[in-house]
Structure 1
């Protein structure tokens, strides 16, 4: 992460200097609008870069702890993003998101995704568990790690029918679970899946992503940095020259663009508690995305 932080310090300083000198036209900034993708089941468009909150938002609700996280949200929404993913099992994270959205007046602006665990047994219990979102409406409710999906998916569909939520999905963060997810996408009705995809974890591209395209299921991507391990792999190394061909000025952007550029992918949710990193991540949602040839090139570089 040191490499990423140093790069951001340099790039922000350089951009500020260019703005002061009048060398960075306002037109360039105005054109940097975040791309959107359609949710297949409805056609609703959502921004492709979102925010994950596992670990990163698990803090006490004190002014000191909340200040940088509020700035993260400012960067997300300021860049045109709206998608936020959380879960009750992320300890304090879900309550922190609810608190910040309420404080900022963004409860209606956010596209909020959260999860249910295996222990819920009724709609009332699920709603009680979601109470720490401080009234923020839930757009997407997902069965976390597919645990107890047989019981929970019918409950979530009932909540959707009652208009208590808008979309239903399932999640997992490991490639070993993708065979089971293939079966569920084939056999169950759902709007979203959430899976891991990055230049090292590419199994989903073989069968699962094409199936989601065929079935009209939206795809949310987690772990685009492989929990930070990809940064360790490239620490101290310069970006490959081809990164500039798709407008990438950092390793984080190259990793994100790899994942989001697959045509079956709807959005991506890199987690961060660092406002500068959120701004950097959001830039990956602008400009040119890799074509299939470039995606192979990126994957080969990391392998």
Structure 2
């Protein structure tokens, strides 16, 4: 007699015996045994992992989707908006993401990030990136020391000069701090094409680990000089504003997703726009901002599978601009 513990949950002992009686002797038992054996021999497929790309200066692998904290993490404890944020970080880490990008310019975002990581005990899962955004050596040092306190960490993975503000002064400090091990990587940021000439000049003149710049399907100027130059100089690229500041995604979200999106595994417009950004080989990581766990999960899915080659996007990019 087959032990009741081997029966599927939906099959009662009485129903199993009725089925057994209705079949030729031994047939039901043989079929059932074969099914059980097949299930044991076919292990479940592991979930697809988020892709990584190397940071050129060290070859450290960095997951390709991170999280920006501008606006979304500028929240105070006790509010409904704040209560949603632990789920965002849980979703990022569960998907294999690491990079969390902030700035003292973003109101309370650094402090919120530090509080959430401390409360959940997940500091070791995060690649922490923030910025210095002030003028003068002493003011810059004071602001960066405050970032360490707010983020509740002794070492910051990436410190960036925000929007090139007094970049010569701050890069000198950051090189010293990198040598001391206080920061692991240094870089510069900007978010508008009007600054690209100065960004290019700094990229050519200075030894940097990271460039953070805007790039999206409707703002592609970075393709012309900055992304190729960063690759030539061995500089990792973090992309901000991948949804065109939000306007592009808002324009598309009520339209049906095109059938060709499925060719690269996309199930949402957000994933499609993120995969466009990641299709450029010069991009290391993209940091869409969000304050909702379900959006973080959706965004993170764009970091898996393939992104489409240049020919694929030449055939379809125009549809994103209509």
Shorter chain as normaliser: what TM range? 0.7 to 0.9
The corresponding residue for 1:61 is: 77
The corresponding residue for 2:125 is: 109
The corresponding residue for 2:19 is: none
Deviations 1:228-264 (A, max 9, x none): 1012322421112211110011100000000012101
Distance in 2 separating the partners of 1:112 and 1:182: 25
The corresponding residue for 2:175 is: 157
Distance in 2 separating the partners of 1:113 and 1:51: 10
Distance in 2 separating the partners of 1:45 and 1:235: 32
CA apart distance, 1:32:
1.7
Match of 1:200 among 218, 226, 232: 218
The question of 1:217 aligning with 2:235 is answered: yes
Distance 1:58 1:120, change over 3 A: farther
Q: Which has the higher contact order (CA 8 A, sep 6+)?
A: 1
Q: How many corresponding residue pairs? A: 278
Match of 2:100 among 80, 84, 91: 84
Secondary structure of the 1:139 match is strand
Distance in 1 separating the partners of 2:102 and 2:58: 22
Distance in 2 separating the partners of 1:170 and 1:124: 16
Q: CA RMSD in A?
A: 1.7
Secondary structure of the 2:155 match is coil
CA apart distance, 1:124:
4.2
| Higher Cα Rg, which structure | 2
Match of 2:289 among 271, 282, 286: 271
Distance 1:133 1:26, change over 3 A: farther
CA contact (8 A) 1:82 1:109 kept: yes
Q: Which runs of 5+ in 1 are unaligned?
A: 1-24
Secondary structure of the 1:115 match is strand
Match of 1:238 among 244, 256, 268: 256
Distance 1:176 1:26, change over 3 A: farther
The corresponding residue for 2:18 is: none
Secondary structure of the 1:166 match is strand
Q: Please list, as runs of the form range in 1=range in 2, the aligned pairs for 1:1-303 lying within 5 A after superposition.
A: 27=44, 30-62=46-78, 64-122=80-138, 124-130=141-147, 131-135=149-153, 137-303=155-321
CA contact (8 A) 2:187 2:210 kept: yes
Q: Which runs of 4+ in 1 moved over 4 A?
A: 25-28
Distance in 2 separating the partners of 1:159 and 1:135: 14
Q: Which runs of 5+ in 2 are unaligned?
A: 1-41
